[in-house]
């Protein structure tokens, strides 16, 4: 007797093997409704709706799954469905659009118009959710997604509480997904946490960082803890230093108003880079479950050595991009971007040297760098190992010996490479460094799911492993606030600049050279 998992009514029959089918049943959440606040925005259009449709194609959504768009824009449900069809057609991973699956998926799409701050607008939302419970069997299970500007996070949570939408029928669940940025500094993050936790229990709050949904980021855990080869070397005894690079070729792309208040330190370091740091440096958790994993990540952030204000210049570099060429096209400097002050001192490039004061990593520097208008978009973690204690081959090497480097490519080239020395064929003992590389795409011959697919499914399932906990967010802000405070003790009227299309300012190169090291060029 075969078992058919719950699915959207018109989804096609499965074509996968029984093992895959069993995994699908295990990963199918209970019936639920998802409310997207800010449903008319770019995030919904480019990421959320395509990801949800792709989950429908994979038959991972439950029967009766429903989506309620909530926004201030005046439109009908039919218009909303038409907009979402355009979004799926343009951005979904599974192309072309499957008409049968789309019709079934779209049947669960509705729209409610309302102002986020007007509690009376939520009356229509309550009525719509109750209708979905009756007609589509969503059982009172609700997922609230805050895809709005950050200033509305608190008011939306409070209005959900005033309408009683943080609770439901006995046995049901209600969860809140909050996008980044989560606060502007430690104090604002704590205030927002207090507001949200006064309405939703911490276990029901899912602070999303899409980096954690990337397959290659999750594979950091698999690579470290599933392989007996590398984990014994993952410490101060063998590692010389670690480099984490998050480079973007784009500029601020019309977000000058936001970026002026954030800069690279808040836009990238506080969230994405702290997540990568914690995954690379964490201790093995007792199990791959939400709290054990997040406990170990928080320990890493707590171990980051504070940078005293007077020493900030020794451990940080910041700069701003100037006019230059990216991918062969001339681009303007940051100060010439829209909604950017002509005398702006906002950082678009940041390099840091951090130390972790714990047993595993004592004395090992972690170099972090991120910037806009760099030569290409790339995210990489590189672990450079210490050189052999006694080099036997220095007299006859074909080229200067390079240290062993293990590089984890996060995007866009998703893979792992290991640099090591080999003998060049011939009668003499000449050595050369070579790379042994693994590429996810060619190895598995499949397209990796979008990060939002994994994260949305996990939120429906109640698995918060890949979401950040309150104390994790606050610890990351503690690190950033200390750095920003150091910068503010010695304010500047001009930042070092770097030409767009280059790898950053000369000060960043000297930053590494002073330590006898150099940045990798991913």
**Residue from 272, 327, 390, 394 carrying the catalytic annotation:** 272
For the chain, the helix, strand and coil percentages under 3-state DSSP, each to the nearest 5: 40, 20, 40
For 86-125, letters b (16+ CB in 10 Å) and e give ebbeebbebeeebeebbebbbebbbbbbbebeeeebbeeb
For 367-428, the DSSP string reads EEEEESS-SS-EEEEEEEEPPPSS-S-TTT-SSPPPPPEEEEEEESS-EEEEEEEEEPSSSS
Name the residue with tokens 């330190």: 265
Q: Is 272 a residue of the active site? A: yes
**Residue pointed to by tokens 């990238």:** 268
Q: Which two tokens stand for residue 140?
A: 């009172």
Q: Number of helices and strands (H, E) in the chain?
A: 17, 17
Secondary structure of 113-142 as H, E, C letters: ECCCCCHHHHHHHHHHHHHHHHHHCCCCCE
Describe the crossing of helices 470-489 and 290-303 by its angle, rounded to 10 degrees.
20
Beta strands in 139-199 (DSSP E): 142-146, 174-178
- Tell me if the bond preceding 403 is cis, omega within 30° of 0: no
**Beta-carbon neighbour count of residue 191 at 10 Å?**
12
DSSP for residue 514:
T
Q: Helix axis angle, 451-461 relative to 49-57, nearest 10°?
A: 80
Beta strands in 171-315 (DSSP E): 174-178, 205-207, 239-247
Alpha helices in 230-353 (DSSP H): 256-264, 274-281, 290-303, 312-315
Beta strand 142-146 with 174-178 is parallel
Active site residues: 272
């Amino acid at each position: 007797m075969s078992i058919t998992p719950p699915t959207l009514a018109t989804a096609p029959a499965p074509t996968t093997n029984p093992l895959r089918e069993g995994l699908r049943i295990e990963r199918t959440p209970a019936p639920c409704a998802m409310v997207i606040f800010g449903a008319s925005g770019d995030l919904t259009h480019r990421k959320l709706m395509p990801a949800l449709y792709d989950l429908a194609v994979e038959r991972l959504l439950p029967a009766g799954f429903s989506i309620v768009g909530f926004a201030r824009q005046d439109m009908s449900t039919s218009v909303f469905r038409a907009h979402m069809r355009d979004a799926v057609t343009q951005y979904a991973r599974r192309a072309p659009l499957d008409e049968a699956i789309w019709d079934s998926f779209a049947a669960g799409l509705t729209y409610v118009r309302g102002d986020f701050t007007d509690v009376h607008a939520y009356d229509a939302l309550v009525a719509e959710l109750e209708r979905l419970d009756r007609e589509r069997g969503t059982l009172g299970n609700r997922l609230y997604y805050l895809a709005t500007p950050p200033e509305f996070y608190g008011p939306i949570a409070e209005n959900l509480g005033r309408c009683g939408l943080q609770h439901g029928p006995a046995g049901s669940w209600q969860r809140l997904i909050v996008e980044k940025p989560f606060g502007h500094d430690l104090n604002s993050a704590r205030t927002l946490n207090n507001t949200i936790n006064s309405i939703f229990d911490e276990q029901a709050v899912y602070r999303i960082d899409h980096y954690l949904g990337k397959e290659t980021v999750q594979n950091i855990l698999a690579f470290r803890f599933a392989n007996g080869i590398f984990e014994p070397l993952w410490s101060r005894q063998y590692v010389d230093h670690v480099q984490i690079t998050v480079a973007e070729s784009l500029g601020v792309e019309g977000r000058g108003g936001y970026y002026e208040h954030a800069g690279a330190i808040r836009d990238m370091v506080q969230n994405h880079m702290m997540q990568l740091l914690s995954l690379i440096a964490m201790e093995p958790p007792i199990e791959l479950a939400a709290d054990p994993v997040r406990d170990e990540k928080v320990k890493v952030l707590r171990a980051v050595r504070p940078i005293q204000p007077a020493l900030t210049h020794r451990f940080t570099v910041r700069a701003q991009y100037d006019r230059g060429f990216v991918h062969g096209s001339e681009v303007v400097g940051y100060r010439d971007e829209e909604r950017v002050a002509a005398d702006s001192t906002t950082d678009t490039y940041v390099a840091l040297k951090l130390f972790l004061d714990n047993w595993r990593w004592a004395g090992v520097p972690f170099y972090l760098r991120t910037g806009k208008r760099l030569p290409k978009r790339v995210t990489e973690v590189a672990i450079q190992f210490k050189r052999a204690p006694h080099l036997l081959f220095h007299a006859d090497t074909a080229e200067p010996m390079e240290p062993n480097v293990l590089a984890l490519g996060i995007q866009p080239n998703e893979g792992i490479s290991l640099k090591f020395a080999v003998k060049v064929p011939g009668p003499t003992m000449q050595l050369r460094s070579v790379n042994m590389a693994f590429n996810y795409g060619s190895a598995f011959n499949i397209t990796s799911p979008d990060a939002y697919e994994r994260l949305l499914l996990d939120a429906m399932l109640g698995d918060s492993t890949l979401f950040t906990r309150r104390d994790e967010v606050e610890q990351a802000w503690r690190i950033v606030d200390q750095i920003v405070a150091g910068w503010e003790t010695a304010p500047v009227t001009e930042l070092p600049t770097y030409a767009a299309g280059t790898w950053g300012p000369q000060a960043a190169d000297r930053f590494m050279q002073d330590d006898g090291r150099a940045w990798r060029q991913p």
